[in-house]
Structure 1
Amino acid sequence: MRYIYSTLGKLSAEQLGMILPHEHVFVDLRTPDKPGYGQADTASVLALMVPQIEAIQALGVTALVECSTGGVGRRADLDLAVSLATNFPIVVPTGNYREPWIPAWVHSADEDELFNWMLAELTTEIEQTGFRAGWIKLSAGDDGITPLEARILRAATRAAVETDALIGSHTIRGSVVMDQLDIIEAQGGSPARFLSIHTQAEPDFALHRAIAARGAWIEYDNVGAVPVAESTDLILRALDAGLGEQLLISHDRGWYDPALPNGGVPKPYTVVSTELIPLLRARGVPEDTILQLFHRNPFRAFSRH
């Protein structure tokens, strides 16, 4: 049986419904060497983010995938605090972002150390939170994967093979995604356990097809950042191309930003529910396809044994 591992423990498909596969509760996009990096008062985070979670709970969303990883202010303890305050599961990653957002300890760690760290977070707990990482979040440079990013990816692939965890990567260019898939396959991993995050940013739709043809997931995660009709058109193009079984859809929104006063002004996670799905229905997308895109696909992607 497969489960999603969350802040509230492991959850089966029967316990979940709609899942948002790419959002952020807390992010710090300053590099880890900056003063105050990743620091925030728990009460301040709760005040800002609990209403955002409650808004999607009221719309029937049952879980959210946190995409803040090492290097961009992952705070699993704050994810847990928000989760407990709302009784809402959040799926938190292990892993690390790309250069220059890579902490000093990751720079100096060898592949075995990185593998052991990710494996421990996936199988035991993240830091001292009492819950396991649900997946692995990485990134690669726009101009190609660097040697350090490749080392992190090789370690991540070993951890994914061991646990069946999904590897998701913030990778803007489809050609770099293909290079990542080459590394994964050379390491004995499966492209079927890889997610190309921000696929919509690749203008060549042929590369969307090519990534999916390798067996990987693709993700359109800018809903609300562009006109909803534009997102709808791209989703319909993917469905017409037969990519529906490998497609994830989300906002890439939120979040508490410790670099801004009181965490800034969050962007709501509600646009998919209130605008996109109604427009997809109006454009003739069947109800079973809606369930596939927003219920079944996210569970299949992020669940593991």
Structure 2
Amino acid sequence: MQWPRNWKNQIVTVDGVIQTRALGLTLIHEHVLVDFIGADKISFDRWEHESVIQKVLPYLFEAKERGITSIAECTPAYLGRDVNLLQKLSEKSGLQIITNTGFYGASDNKFLPQIAKTETARQLADRWINEFRYGIDGTTIKPGFIKIGVNPGPLSDLHKKLVTAAALTHLATGLTICSHTGPAATAREELKILENLGVHPRAFVWVHASGSDEEFVQLGKMGCWISLDGIHENNLDKNAATISLLKSHGFMDQILISHDAGWYRPGEPDGGPFKSFTTISDKFLPFLMHRGFSWKEINQLMVNNPAQMLAIRIRKI
């Protein structure tokens, strides 16, 4: 892959660099494969590419048939990130797939390697920066965003280190930070760390955003991305209400939506049950339009916002 000298309006996929205008209809938080065995036991020989492809490919085709052109695959290292598999699926499906760098500390550090506990934030950042510069796991495939995870509640020192490492990585690469977070109070604490390091809130995605209406508005005013990424048939009204609230306060250009669906589970028969990537296309977007959202606003949610979020751009205060 030829590395551009000027990153303006560029996004990195598993197949190389594209222009933001080429991203199209995008699901910004999905999974192909997730292995919950833990960082100390995970290995690539726990799954076979052909078996995963046979299971997952029909679901990718379903999404593509509905006009989806790109998927941000949010499985981090030590939880089943397999960039060679993603590249094969991208080629076979025709979808643009974006992978990530970073470490996942949520779930009480079960998926953190030992180096996350022993190395400094600077050392961790250098690892993630090197994946962006040189490729992941010995390949030339490069990450298109940073994925970290923290526990809800006050941040531990270890999780503060992950956020700091993500901030340092952003300042060196322009990759956006997507942090599995949940509660608004935790997101505010993360944003404070970024602020102290000179990173603009626009470089931060509040993943699994949850809180009161007041908290959603407060975080919206801070300027971060607000990711409603657990959309399914039983919460359409709740998510529509949150989007309407944010829209009423002028935050439509900060909202991201996705399913957090998938995923093949190594160790389970045939990879276990798999959640499709079609509820937003089939159910949620018509639901929004029935409540008065325009095509322009749908395009904002599905095309413009993902492209701006994934654009390689160092965002400083």
1:270 aligns with 2:242: no
Q: Which moved more, 1:174-183 or 1:32-41?
A: 32-41
1:224–1:12: structure 2 CA closer, same or farther, 3 Å change rule?
same
2:245 matched residue in structure 1: 237
1:38–1:29: structure 2 CA closer, same or farther, 3 Å change rule?
farther
1:37–1:16: structure 2 CA closer, same or farther, 3 Å change rule?
closer
Cα distance between partner residues in 2 of 1:78 and 1:150: 31
2:167 matched residue in structure 1: 157
Q: Which moved more, 1:46-55 or 1:123-132?
A: 123-132
1:61 matched residue in structure 2: 68
1:2 matched residue in structure 2: 9
CA contact (8 A) 1:71 1:101 kept: yes
1:222–1:35: structure 2 CA closer, same or farther, 3 Å change rule?
closer
1:132 matched residue in structure 2: 142
Amino acid at match of 2:160: A
Amino acid at match of 1:302: L
2:99 matched residue in structure 1: 92
Amino acid at match of 1:282: H
Amino acid at match of 1:143: G
CA contact (8 A) 1:28 1:38 kept: no
TM-superposed CA distance for 1:37, in Å, is: 7.8
Amino acid at match of 1:271: T
Instruction: Pick the aligned partner of 1:298 from 301, 306, 311.
Output: 306
CA contact (8 A) 1:38 1:75 kept: no
Q: Which moved more, 1:171-180 or 1:125-134?
A: 125-134
1:177 matched residue in structure 2: 187
TM-superposed CA distance for 1:133, in Å, is: 0.3
Q: Please list every run of 5 or more consecutive structure 2 residues that lacks an aligned counterpart in the other structure.
A: 1-7
Percent of matched pairs sharing the same residue: 27
What RMSD in Å do the two structures reach over aligned CA positions?
Answer: 1.6
CA contact (8 A) 2:13 2:98 kept: yes
Instruction: Pick the aligned partner of 1:119 from 90, 111, 129.
Output: 129
Instruction: Pick the aligned partner of 2:114 from 84, 101, 104.
Output: 104
What is the total number of aligned residue pairs between the two structures?
303
1:257–1:147: structure 2 CA closer, same or farther, 3 Å change rule?
same
Matched residue of 2:179: which SS?
Answer: strand
Cα distance between partner residues in 2 of 1:84 and 1:70: 22
1:38–1:105: structure 2 CA closer, same or farther, 3 Å change rule?
farther
2:3 matched residue in structure 1: none
Matched residue of 1:226: which SS?
Answer: helix
1:127–1:245: structure 2 CA closer, same or farther, 3 Å change rule?
same
1:255 aligns with 2:263: yes
Instruction: Pick the aligned partner of 1:29 from 9, 32, 36.
Output: 36
TM-score by length of 1: 0.94
Instruction: Pick the aligned partner of 2:90 from 43, 58, 83.
Output: 83
TM-superposed CA distance for 1:120, in Å, is: 1.2
Amino acid at match of 2:9: R
TM-score by length of 2: 0.91
